[in-house]
Amino acid sequence: MKWALLSVWDKTGIIELAGSLASRGVGILSSGGTGRALQTAGIPYTEVSEYTGFPEMMDGRVKTLHPRVHGGLLGRRGIDDSVMEQHGIRPIDLLVVNLYPFEEMAKSGKGLDELVEYIDIGGPAMIRAGAKNFRDVAVLVDPNDYGMVGEALDSGGFLPEQKLALARKAFARTAAYDAAISNYLYGLDDMFPAVYTVQLTHGRRLRYGENPHQQAAVYGSGGVALQTPLQGKEMSYNNYLDLHAACGLLREFDQPAAVIVKHNNPCGVSTGEFIYDAYVDAREVDPVSAYGSVVALNREVGAKLAEEICGTFVEVICAESFTPEALRIMSRKENMRVLALPPPVGGNEIRTIDGGALVQHTPPYQEHWKVITDRDATEEEMKALRLAWKVCKHTRSNTIIFANAKKVLGIGAGQMSRVDAAKIAIDKALYPLKGSAVASDAFLPFPDTLEIAAAAGATALVQPGGSIRDQEVIAAANRLNMAMIFTGIRYFRH
């Protein structure tokens, strides 16, 4: 390696890298802010404008866009040597580039005229040129990879497979960069543009998909997607789906809460003064379904709770934190996956369908709870209604949820008929339903679901409202002395 071109916005590690190159006799070509940083550090380099014979111009918009730069990156050794020699083009063996921070600036609220100045042109052009010629040029776009350079120089140069891996990373970076610009510009006029570009990172192969005959991977740079176990087996495809569902519901609660999910539906939810009590109560909602489940807790797990969790077969336990003693106890369950509760990431929801994808955005909204029956809900009933409604929001449609003020009592999920969902919730309930509250994810088209709930002992019900037969349902609630609330918001979950 004889010649390296360094041009970076993020100066992290660049002085150390340049020093390493210079100490090994590698010539450095640089410009702009990078060159000034090298000069300050006393590291010798050749200014790009001196090498090309053209000055930086247009406030730095044009500095590396020159045949002597791109020829040095694109020239094929052993093929283009005579052309390069004829035009005084030196082969560039190492390219170190990172880009103007468009993604970061796009989130800062800057106007379009100011933001366009953060659209890098020369950087992506050089990255693509060097990566195209990866057999002869090593391209580094990530400061985390700088440590490879010294090792490669000391061992005779980058291996072919290393250069190919760096080229993959380089093209992924320019693709993500262009995607960010495209989405921003399209998004100026339309939340859902004609072209919607997604770049997913940190891809990891999974053992298999939903079933052993299917192949799968997980991608993502944050939230549930980026989580790996602190201990235990690797996460599976279904584990990630269930953990996503569990974390989504758990984030509805500020007080100590436990959520237990099986097959993408909650099978136990409870709150309590202490997280231990919340977990035990959630598990006992449906202990059969809790076998082989995913558990999410919003408080630290200590030794006592760890022992309790280990008393049941749990696939995944995710919590705010774990004491060292709790981790030691849970390590006895070698297959149980133990994960830290990730912060939410948010963003649009994307789901694939045959030939494409559905993209869904949930803007800020407010429910409008309104009592529409003769009788108001009591304070205890309101607590139960709010709990049931939170769980209803995260359960597959059609769904009916029975709850008291602290925990779920019965869950009827994913039924084609709302009446059947109510019957299943009642049938699965292991606790008396007298005095319970009920939530329905969508309006009740007929009074029958309410009547079934009342017969089981429920005294209050919450639903979106909006049916053409609302008055029939309200009349039935009044006849049965039930308090009923309309929220104005439907929570289908398909």
Q: What is the set of active-site residues?
A: 132, 263
Lowest model confidence (mean pLDDT) among 32-36, 329-333, 348-352, 438-442: 32-36
Mean pLDDT, range 254-273, rounded to an integer: 97
Q: How far apart are the first and last CA of the chain?
A: 57
Residues 234 and 315 in one domain: yes
In the predicted model, is pLDDT for residue 140 greater than 90? Answer: yes
Mean pLDDT, range 226-230, rounded to an integer: 93
Give the count of domains, the chain. 3
Of residues 461 and 202, more confidence is placed in 461
Residues 300 and 443 in one domain: no
- The per-residue pLDDT for 1 is 58
- The per-residue pLDDT for 62 is 67
Domain CATH number, residue 115: 3.40.50.1380
- The per-residue pLDDT for 19 is 85
Of residues 155 and 291, more confidence is placed in 291
Q: pLDDT for 405-455, tens place per residue?
A: 999 999 999 999 999 999 999 999 999 999 999 999 999 999 999 999 999
Mean pLDDT, range 354-370, rounded to an integer: 93
The total of other beta-carbon atoms located within 10 Å of residue 157's CB is 14
Q: Mean pLDDT across the chain, nearest whole number?
A: 92
Domain CATH number, residue 476: 3.40.140.20
Distance CA 452, CA 472 (A): 15
Question: Is residue 207 included in any domain, yes or no?
Answer: no
- The per-residue pLDDT for 473 is 98
Which of 340, 360, 393 marks a domain boundary? 340
Half-sphere exposure of 353 (CA within 13 A, CB side): 5
Give residue 255's pLDDT band: very low, low, confident or very high (50, 70, 90): very high
Query: Of all helices (H) and strands (E), which one includes residue 427?
Result: helix 418-428
- The per-residue pLDDT for 59 is 67
- The per-residue pLDDT for 265 is 97
Residues 248 and 148 in one domain: no
Residues 16 and 64 in one domain: yes
- The per-residue pLDDT for 68 is 84
- The per-residue pLDDT for 198 is 86
Mean pLDDT, range 112-125, rounded to an integer: 83
In the predicted model, is pLDDT for residue 60 greater than 80? Answer: no
Of residues 301 and 69, more confidence is placed in 301
Q: What are phi and psi of 294, to 5 degrees?
A: -110, 130
- The per-residue pLDDT for 194 is 82
Residues 183 and 221 in one domain: no
Percentage above 70 pLDDT, the chain: 98
Mean pLDDT, range 468-491, rounded to an integer: 98
- The per-residue pLDDT for 61 is 67
Lowest model confidence (mean pLDDT) among 112-121, 152-161, 265-274, 370-379: 112-121
- The per-residue pLDDT for 413 is 97
Torsion angle (degrees, nearest 10) of CA 203, 208, 209, 213: 140
Distance CA 400, CA 413 (A): 7
Lowest model confidence (mean pLDDT) among 80-94, 235-249, 455-469: 80-94
Residues 6+ apart with CB under 8 A from 72: 3, 5, 84, 89, 90, 91, 92
Residues 250 and 307 in one domain: yes
Question: Is residue 245 included in any domain, yes or no?
Answer: yes
- Please give the model's pTM, rounded to 2 decimal places: 0.85
- The per-residue pLDDT for 449 is 97
**Parent domain of 458:** 370-486
- What ranges in 237-338 are assigned the alpha helix state H? 237-250, 275-285, 287-290, 303-310, 324-330
